[in-house]
A and B are shown apart, each in its own frame.
Chain A
């Protein structure tokens, strides 16, 4: 009903009033677009300049690479002088392994907490939740000592274990809330059919798949982007992740602008593509998660 009123109103209003309303409607767009430009411009500037010759980078930084200014020299330097391929592989191994194990282990624990009212259930839930607020970094001195004792320094395994521990608290906390919403009848029916508790777990997991997807994305990004633990626990060239590799490469090649711009672009583009594919889902899941 409000719609029809709105549609009728402007035609009967004086021009100046309509114009004011138009401006009022435009204003929010101007702010959002303005801020959007502030966000996109730096990223855009780095990407376009990575495809230019050194002269053009300095001479015409704001221009899109043309036939005369186009150059891949920076990428050639990065590919030949750094171990980018190794860093990428390391990051992928660490992130994927930590992600899968976190989701599996986290889902199992969350299921047990949600499903069985055993003694100490609430206390255990609280114990696992401490890690949500207390950053794991504060235990770095102890973690490094432990890694030395277990001979896990400069291994991807060490990083994977740390990242699982880091991601578990939030994973368990959120998933257990989702498991609680699964209808009881379903599980009881399976139990009557003689299904084991393990079987019931694997029956229920697909029902919380959206939550698992969202947690997966949010577990991945901080792991992929982390600088601290690769720097502290696995800084060797063989185990460096992309984030650490880029940081060290850039430190060495500060004055080679082509190489710096290209390596930044190489490190950025995979994440941006991933983000553009999943952004809707991601933002929706935080929005819904925050509403709970």
Chain B
């Protein structure tokens, strides 16, 4: 029988349980992350030696005429990408969730359908939309024609002015299911008595939603916002699939993920540069981290005080 005979020493079985997870996680996630942070302060010579350069890589990234326009451009585009997700994706998700949670018939069938694109790979989604929006096939044009709006049709993906918005909306189309389910879960979790009381007071559906339900699901709104933020500033697959690593036309769809890939591996005339890649990754890390910290310390704390 295994009793705690030697209290002082750490029980072996705890080590056995924890070791595989801790070792794999540390070696393949934590260590590479720290190594990337470290490499952003180094430069690699032609003899493959690492030399410490302090914050030189960051200065280069933020001021050099080759890097800075790309960095600020990608950051700006990423903010647009995120804003479109926050406004369009999360509003549609909230509307759909509110309808689904209203006790409507066939709610589970609707949920299954609306969640479907989320499980497909971004590569597939990217190509599907590329085909549909392709003027050669003309499917999108025919659909617009059916509602007499064909004058609106343009090769949206190919024009610098519309490419980023188009790609963002395709991403919204794919991922709207996730916030929808999270909002739905929060809405059906609201105690029925509260709704009952509101109905007795004679408030309309619209009023009940915004005055009672919405404030109650604010914690979920925060979770959705931070998930959208982390996902968007880490996005890569869709742009790479639809517009390649150069994120054309004229870098108009370039976001942090594609900038990171290009900087790390190089593209066409530009050579790949691991330490500059690590610098871009560290900037992404800082952006995501600041988002997470704002969420934890400002949003969650405020929600808690409101709840009290």
Contacts and interface: CB of A to CB of B under 8 A. Distances in A.
Interface of A: 28-29, 31-32, 35-36, 38-40, 42-43, 45-46, 57-58, 61-62, 105-106, 108-109, 111-113, 116, 118, 124, 127-128, 130-131, 133-146, 161-162, 164-166, 168-169, 172, 194, 196-198, 201, 221, 224-228, 231-232, 242-243, 246-247, 250, 257, 260-261, 264, 267-268, 271-272, 274-276, 279-280, 282-283, 286-291
Interface in B234-251: 234, 236-237, 240-241
B151 interface: no
B197 interface: no
B121 interface: yes
Contacts of A139: 29, 32-33, 35-36, 281
B131 A261 contact: yes
A142 B33 contact: yes
B137 A225 contact: no
20 contacts: A28-B104, A32-B100, A32-B104, A36-B113, A39-B114, A46-B128, A46-B131, A57-B137, A105-B20, A108-B20, A137-B234, A137-B236, A138-B285, A146-B32, A225-B119, A247-B123, A260-B131, A267-B121, A280-B108, A290-B181
A145 B33 CA distance: 11
Contacts of B156: none
Given A131-B25, A290-B181, A61 B137 contact: yes
A140 B120 CA distance: 24
Given A32-B100, A201-B17, 7 more contacts: A128-B25, A141-B32, A146-B32, A168-B29, A169-B29, A246-B124, A286-B182
Please list the 5 inter-chain residue pairs (A to B) with the smallest Cβ-Cβ separation, ordered nearest first.
A142-B32, A142-B35, A225-B121, A109-B21, A139-B32
Interface residues of B, number: 89
Contacts of B124: 246, 264, 267-268
Contacts of A144: 274
Interface in B216-240: 220, 226, 230, 234, 236-237, 240
Given A146-B32, A268-B120, A138 B128 contact: no
B284 A138 contact: yes
Interface of B: 1-2, 10-11, 13-14, 16-18, 20-22, 24-25, 27-36, 39, 92, 95-96, 99-100, 102, 104-106, 108, 110-117, 119-124, 127-129, 131-132, 137-139, 142, 173, 181-182, 184-186, 188-189, 220, 226, 230, 234, 236-237, 240-241, 257, 260, 264-265, 274-275, 277-278, 281-282, 284-285, 288-289, 292
A141 B113 contact: no
B265 to A, nearest CB: 8
Given A146-B31, A287-B181, A138 B14 contact: no
Nearest to B35: A142
Nearest to B263: A141
Contacts of A268: 120, 124
B34 to A, nearest CB: 7
Contact of B123 (A133, A162, A227): A227
Contacts, number: 260
A141 B278 contact: yes
A208 to B, nearest CB: 15
B24 to A, nearest CB: 5
A61 to B, nearest CB: 5
B35 A141 contact: yes
A79 B219 CA distance: 49
B234 A138 contact: yes
A137 B277 CA distance: 12
Contact of A165 (B29, B99, B184, B281): B29
B25 A287 contact: no
Given A111-B17, A280-B108, A141 B274 contact: yes
B28 A140 contact: no
Contacts of B257: 137
A140 B264 contact: yes
A161 B28 contact: yes
A43 B33 contact: no
Nearest to B238: A227
Nearest to A246: B123
B115 A279 contact: yes
